[in-house]
Copies of this chain bind each other. A is one copy, B any other.
Amino acid sequence: MATFMDVHHGMTGITPEELEQAHQADQRLEREEGVHFKQAWADPASGTVWCLSEAPSADAVQRVHERAGHKADEIHSVPYSV
């Protein structure tokens, strides 16, 4: 397992309810791909959402997001954190 930070652009105006719904959609699917979405943050002004996950691969993270209907624009492995 590794830690990933993925980024979604183009989410301008996202509401707290939409963020919660998107996160719940990911959580319903994550177990099938061996992924765990830990946290997510949204900036509705720039339309950016970041999701922090533990997963076997970036592809597994993307599969969950694609199946949930919101493909990520970037998926970064983040081996270091403080």
Task: List chain A positions with a Cβ less than 8 A from chain B.
Answer: 3, 5, 14-16, 19-20, 23, 39-46, 48, 50, 52, 76-82
Contacts and interface: CB of A to CB of B under 8 A. Distances in A.
Given A43-B76, A76-B46, A77-B43, A82 B5 contact: no
A44 B43 CA distance: 24
A52, A76, A79, A80 interface centre (most CB from chain B within 10 Å): A80
B82 A39 contact: yes
Given A19-B80, A39-B81, A50-B78, 5 more contacts: A16-B80, A20-B82, A41-B78, A42-B79, A42-B81
A16, A20, A23, A78 interface centre (most CB from chain B within 10 Å): A78
